[in-house]
Amino acid sequence: MVSFWKRDSSRKISDLPASAELRDYVLGQAGKVSSLQVLGRNAEASEILARVEGTLLSRAKQTPQISTECHLLLAVLYSECGLNSKLEPVLKFLLESSALTKEQELIVAGALQNVRRQNPQSGGASSGPEGYTDVYCCRACGRLHNYVSMPCPHCGWMPKDEVRVAESIMLSTSAMSIADLVRVGRSLAIGRKVDEVVPNLKSSAEAFLETRENSDIVDSVLKLGQENVAKNSHSMRVVTSCPACDARIVCSGGTHCHECGKPLNLSGPLIALNCFDLLLALLETRVEVSPSNSVSEFIRLLVRMESNLLRRQEPPTKAERDYCLKLLNDIGALQDKGGGAVVDFSKLSKIKVYVVKSHMTPESEAYGVMLSVELEQLVRLMESGVPH
């Protein structure tokens, strides 16, 4: 497994910046807890721990502006006291909160990777590769995206109460595989109701909310969501539509709109966003998605690269680009629904489309060509980087 975070492995969670007063308090108390644990005085250790947790969580609630800082310090507390089972959900929450700077995100992701390495049964295959933000399936439109604390970049929906946040977590890689999320998304996209598609959604969300830690996390996600609505309105719709007639762009390398014929003049980042999104849309709706690990990884990586470029204007890193090319090499071929068209990219420099007459539908060939054209674009972007 390629690690995106290797270069930051020397940084520790306790290196993260925080206000001096709170930080000193937390580190001081963490030292006491550790000493008491060593002495076997566990009841006293738990008492101090609960007091510090209470202080941090109530400060986070009272002053939402320092909520991220309080959660970072909570992570510092658990990390210093070696409480991995408590540390993991806080780190996951921080990664998904969308409130971290890139540097903080790298350190937090590295810490999560360490926790999971020490605790393989907690992370493991179900929650996917280390260092990634979870992928969510939007219950309103069925598309995949990276943050539950922000409006869906495809349709603008976001959870407005605790149960909906918990249900969204159940519709994410915290609870399901990518292949299952794609299946759920396909059903939602054709108008089926989420409770029919995932019958135990409500009960599993309620069970999730039963522990105090989970319900605190859900509370904080809601608060962040309220702040984000005001300041983050990144919409994929805006960047994937023709500025003149609003038609969906159907080819990331196209120079003119297929609908109104006006020039598109897409910049490098817009070409990349359209390419990532057309590929994701095809994978989510048309392409046969096997439970193969490489295809799941490919989907996760596309969601992540799309999210970072849209939300932070950050193009894929060299490590992400290399990893993407490796995954494409591993996958080798993808087929359209029902096997009517096969795109063979076992040689990335020579991508080929085959139509399988016995299985083809009227659209197979068009979708096969679309998939191959966007894969060619992706290979160019991953080999040379996203132009400015």
Q: Smallest distance, Å, CB 259 to Zn ion?
A: 4
Interface size with Zn ion, residues (CB under 5 A)? 14
Distances (CA, A) of 14 to 32, 62, 123, 204, 322: 16, 24, 22, 34, 31
Helix (H) or strand (E) holding 112: helix 102-118
Q: Which is nearer to Zn ion, 75 or 239 (CB)?
A: 239
What's the closest the beta carbon of residue 311 comes to Zn ion, in angstroms? 15
One of 125, 207, 244, 333 touching Zn ion (CB under 5 A): 244
* Residue selected from 33, 73, 138, 144 as contacting Zn ion according to rule CB under 5 A: 138
DSSP character string of 197-249: HSTTHHHHHHHHTTSHHHHHHHHHHHHHHHHHHHH----HHHHTB-TTT-PBP
CA atoms of 384 and 370, how far apart (whole Å): 21
Say whether residue 343 binds Zn ion (CB under 5 A). Answer: no
249 binds Zn ion (CB under 5 A): no
CB of 260 to Zn ion, least distance (A): 3
Report residue 142 CA to chain centroid gap: 15
Count CB-CB contacts under 10 A for residue 1. 9
Q: Is 141 in the site for Zn ion (CB under 5 A)?
A: yes
Among the residue ranges 63-71, 111-119, 131-139, 290-298, the one whose residues contact Zn ion (CB under 5 A): 131-139
Residues 71, 154, 186, 321: which binds Zn ion (CB under 5 A)?
A: 154
Site mask, Zn ion, residues 256-275, x = CB under 5 A?
Answer: -x-xx---------------
Tell the smallest beta-carbon distance from residue 380 to Zn ion (Å): 24
* Minimum gap (Å) between residue 281 Cβ and Zn ion: 12
CA 137 to chain centre: 10
Among the listed ranges 82-90, 130-138, 190-198, 335-343, the one in contact with Zn ion (CB under 5 A) is: 130-138
> What size, in residues, is the chain?
388
CA 184 to chain centre: 17
CB atoms within 10 A of CB 285: 16
Residue 238 in the binding site for Zn ion (CB under 5 A): no
Instruction: Enumerate the β-bridge partners of residue 241.
Output: 248
* Parallel, antiparallel or unpaired: strands 144-145 and 341-344: unpaired
User: Among 13, 170, 242, 341, which residue sits at the site for Zn ion (rule: CB under 5 A)?
Assistant: 242
Q: Find the binder of Zn ion among 27, 66, 83, 155 (CB under 5 A).
A: 155
- Site residues for Zn ion per CB under 5 A: 138, 140-141, 152, 154-155, 157, 242, 244-245, 247, 257, 259-260
